């Protein structure tokens, strides 16, 4: 489809699986996932660290974890550079990500092409309901890396990176763009997500009924139980309609390398990553 020119408005949906090769753990993998390794924070339950009510009472665990996850410490993966390559070739309509790590931005994807469905570290605001003063990322980073809990200089409320916590609404940009984006999508690529968190998971149903969809993941997820809801890899609900869902089981980076090979883009993809690493080395000399 891509080589034939019939896919010109590609949407990528991505989860934590595209960042694990950068050294960032996903959330739900047994034993290795983030939620399975939070014992040191003595939380009442793992998700509390990203729950707004708990944060208001006990912000320190989040900021200790934020220091470990903060952008600038990780190199984007091949998957991130594949998204960048789609953008460079004018094929990326939008990149919807569940991730808060900003690695798409670091890889060079323009901000207008990104929808950070669960927010990110890119900006921060005071959480005071009557204040909401914005603070620059560098100011928040300095506070976090000095083991200081950031407070607003206007009202003294906590300052939190614009990550969407449990108990908060998703960013307005998510809802403003999704209807038009998915109506015009002609190829949906879903990578590295468990599709367990809504409303993000339901986005796979927002494309047209004939739009091809590709899942790249370590396991099968998001499959249909009824017609029109979820993936239908086996064509159980296709009827007379063309079978439109495809599945690649395995590592996201390996799958993106395979796709690049089939498209004749391997050198360009690897070149993007090599140029990024070379630039980083020069900056640290």
pLDDT in tens, 196-209: 989 999 999 999 98
Task: Report residue 8's pLDDT band, with 50, 70 and 90 as the boundaries.
Answer: very high
pLDDT at 30: 60
Q: Which residue has the higher pLDDT, 13 or 67?
A: 13
Buried b (16+ CB within 10 A) or exposed e, 158-186: bbbbbbbbeebebbeebeeebeebbeebb
> Given a cut of 70, is residue 195 above it in pLDDT?
yes
Q: Rounded CA gap, 199 and 160, in Å? A: 23
Average pLDDT over all residues of the chain: 90
Task: Report residue 81's pLDDT band, with 50, 70 and 90 as the boundaries.
Answer: very high
- The dihedrals phi and psi of 126, each to the nearest 5 degrees, come to -65, 140
> Given a cut of 80, is residue 31 above it in pLDDT?
no
Q: Rounded CA gap, 30 and 14, in Å? A: 20
For the chain, give the number of residues: 285
Catalytic residues: 118
Angle separating helix axes 137-145 and 60-69, nearest 10 degrees: 110
Task: Report residue 266's pLDDT band, with 50, 70 and 90 as the boundaries.
Answer: very high
pTM of this prediction exceeds 0.85: yes
Q: Rounded CA gap, 134 and 124, in Å? A: 6
Strand order in the sheet with 134-135: 134-135, 119-126, 159-163
* Tens of pLDDT, residues 87-107: 999 999 999 999 999 999 999
In 3-state terms, what secondary structure has residue 157?
coil
Nearest to 101 by CA among 18, 30, 37, 212: 18
pLDDT at 234: 84
pLDDT at 65: 85
């Amino acid at each position: 489809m891509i080589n034939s020119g019939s896919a010109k408005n590609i949407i990528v949906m991505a989860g934590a699986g595209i960042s694990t090769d950068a050294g960032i753990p996903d959330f739900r993998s047994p034993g290795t996932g983030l939620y399975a390794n939070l014992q040191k924070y003595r939380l009442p339950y793992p998700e509390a660290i990203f729950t707004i009510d708990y944060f208001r009472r006990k912000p320190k665990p989040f900021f200790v974890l934020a220091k470990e996850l903060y952008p600038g410490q990780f190199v984007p993966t091949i998957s991130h550079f594949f998204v960048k390559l789609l953008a460079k070739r004018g094929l990326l309509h939008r990149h919807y990500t569940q991730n808060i790590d900003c690695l798409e931005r670091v890889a060079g994807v323009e901000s207008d092409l990104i929808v950070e469905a669960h927010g990110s570290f890119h900006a921060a605001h005071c959480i005071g309901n009557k204040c909401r003063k914005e603070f620059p990322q560098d100011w928040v980073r300095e506070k976090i890396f000095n083991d200081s809990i950031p407070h607003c200089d206007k009202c003294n409320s906590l300052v939190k990176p614009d990550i969407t916590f449990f108990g908060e609404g998703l960013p307005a940009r998510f809802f403003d763009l999704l209807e038009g984006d998915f109506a015009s999508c002609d190829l949906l690529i879903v990578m590295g997500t468990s599709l367990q968190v809504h409303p993000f998971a339901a986005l796979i149903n927002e494309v047209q009924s004939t739009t091809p969809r590709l899942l790249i993941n370590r396991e099968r997820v998001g499959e249909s139980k009824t017609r029109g809801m979820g993936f239908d890899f086996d064509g159980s609900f296709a009827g007379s309609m063309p079978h439109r869902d495809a599945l690649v089981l395995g590592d996201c980076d390996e799958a993106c390398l395979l796709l690049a090979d089939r498209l004749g883009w391997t050198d360009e993809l690897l070149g993007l990553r090599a140029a990024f690493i070379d630039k980083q080395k020069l900056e640290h000399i």
